[in-house]
Amino acid sequence: MIMSVIETISCDLETYSSADLAQCGVYKYVEAPDFEILLFGYSVNGGTSRVIDLASGERVPDEIVHALSDPGIIKWAFNAQFERICLSRWLGLPTGHYLDPQSWHCAMIWSAYMGLPLSLEGVGAVLGLQKQKLTEGKDLIRFFCRPCNPTNVNDGRTRNLPSHAPEKWTAFKTYNQRDVEVELSIQDKLTKFPVPDSLWAEYHLDQEINDRGVALDRDVVTQAIEADRQSRAELIKLMQELTELDNPNSVAQMKQWLSENGLETDTLGKEAVSDLLKTAPDPLGQVLSLRLQLAKSSVKKYQAMENVICSDGRARGMFQFYGANRTGRFSGRLIQLQNLPQNHMPDLKQARALLQAGNYAALELLYDSVPEVLSELIRTAFIPKPGCRFIVADFSAIEARVIAWLAGESWRQGVFATGGDIYCASASQMFRVPVEKHGVNGHLRQKGKIAELALGYGGSVGALKAMGALDMGLAEEELQPLVTAWRSSNPKIVRLWWDVDRAAMSAVKNRTTEVTHGIQFSYQSGMLFITLPSGRRLTYIKPKIGLNQFGSDCVTYEGIGATKKWERLESYGPKFVENIIQATSRDILCHAMQSLRNLPIVMHVHDEIVVEANNQLTAESVCQQMGQTPPWADGLLLQADGYETEFYRKD
Q: How confident is the model at residue 128 (pLDDT cuts 50, 70, 90)?
A: confident
The predicted model gives 19-41 an average pLDDT of 97
CB 321 within 8 A of CB 330: yes
What pLDDT score was predicted for residue 130?
77
pLDDT value, residue 232: 86
Residues in the chain: 651
The angle, 0 to 180 degrees and rounded to 10, between the axes of the packed helices 284-294 and 218-243 is: 160
16 pLDDT band (50/70/90 cuts)?
Answer: very high
- How many whole angstroms separate alpha carbon 530 and alpha carbon 581? 12
SS3 for 120-135 is: HHHHHHHHCCCCCCCC
CB atoms within 10 A of CB 256: 12
Among 467-481, 482-496, 587-601, the minimum mean pLDDT is found in 467-481
CB contact at 8 A, 84 and 101: yes
Residue 579: pLDDT over 80:
yes
pLDDT of residue 4: 64
Across 200-213, average pLDDT? 98
Three-state SS string over 520-548 comes to: EEEEECCEEEEECCCCCEEEEEEEEEEEC
- Helix (H), strand (E), coil (C) string for 389-429: EEEEEEECCHHHHHHHHHHCCHHHHHHHHCCCCHHHHHHHH
Alpha carbons 346 and 211: distance in angstroms, whole number: 34
Strands 74-77 and 8-16: parallel
Assessment of whether the complete model's pTM goes beyond 0.85: yes
> Three-state SS for 154?
coil
The whole-angstrom separation of Cα 319 and Cα 304 is 14
CB 80 within 8 A of CB 68: no
Q: What is the pLDDT of residue 291?
A: 85
> Taking the CB of residue 339, how many other CB atoms lie within 10 A of it?
11
pLDDT surpassing 80 at residue 240? yes
- Residue 325: pLDDT band with limits 50, 70, 90: confident
Above 80 in pLDDT, residue 297? no
| pLDDT of 457 higher than 60 | yes
Chain mean pLDDT for the chain: 93
DSSP letter at 646 equals S
Q: Which domains does the chain have, with CATH numbers?
A: 8-195 (3.30.420.10), 216-339 (1.20.1060), 386-398+532-651 (3.90.1600), 410-489 (no CATH)
Q: When comparing pLDDT for 469 and 32, which is higher? A: 32
Local confidence band at 639 (pLDDT 50, 70, 90 cut-offs): very high
Query: Which whole number is the average pLDDT over 529-547?
Result: 96
Among candidates 514, 511, 576, which has minimal Cα distance to 544? 511
pLDDT at residue 1, as a whole number: 45
pLDDT confidence tier of residue 2, bands split at 50, 70 and 90: very low
Give yes or no for residue 523 having a pLDDT over 60: yes
